[in-house]
Structure 1
Amino acid sequence: MSKDDRRPPYVQLADDLRGAVEGGKYKAGQRLPTVRELAEQYEVSRNTIQRALDTLKADGVVVSRPPLGIFVSSGEDDDGASHSQEFIEIMQLLDEMQANLRSVSDRLDAIEQVVAHRPQRPR
């Protein structure tokens, strides 16, 4: 994303992700990174990521498959089933909670490794 670009960040991001799909970085049927992961990668808010993904959904580039995530549209097996906004929001929250739990788990693993390699104190 460029600060020199006058377009809103979510438009720039949608174009960047569209380019990644067209360039083959993400293949048809492939799951995209989570909203949180994309926000960290692009150093923008989750709301910006969500707006970009909503744009791509509207354009048919990606499809949401709650609770599995967002996938690159394959054009053939996308059933187009629509869910209520509340359902979509709940699935997004669950996705973020799963990412948070993975992060906590990673931190706990790191702490356990430090404790396991700490020299024993004499008693």
Structure 2
Amino acid sequence: MDRQDVIDAFGALAQPTRLDAFRLLVLHEPEGLPVGEIARGLGVPHNTLSTHLAILARAGLVRSERRSRLIVYRADLDAVQGLAAFLLKDCCAGRPEIAAAFAASASRDAGPKPSKGDLS
């Protein structure tokens, strides 16, 4: 993942509806969700959601596939891993103990995973 990819990904996530949609899709990995279920889950009109999903897709954060008459979206977890790797690459000056402390802190700060019905 290069610098521009990272900028595009964070730009795509820097909007509440897109961030909520991405979080919802992460919770539903690996099966993904049809567009209608995402719209209902977020309380967003289909046409508005389509625009947001297109932005997330262009940023490489979600992928879509046709399943019969449905379009199902999935989070691209490899992209998330790429974002994290890019951010952490130079953060610890080659000192594994700092990286380990950072990972432990991030895990602690994350707290319990939200349920599929709780995006707040």
Tell me, yes or no, whether TM beats 0.5. no
Higher relative contact order (Cα pairs below 8 Å, separated by 6+ residues): 2
CA radius of gyration, larger in? 1
What interval of TM-score do these two structures reach, taking the shorter chain for normalisation?
A: 0.3 to 0.5
- Looking at secondary structure, tell me which structure has more strand per residue: 2
- Looking at secondary structure, tell me which structure has more helix per residue: 2
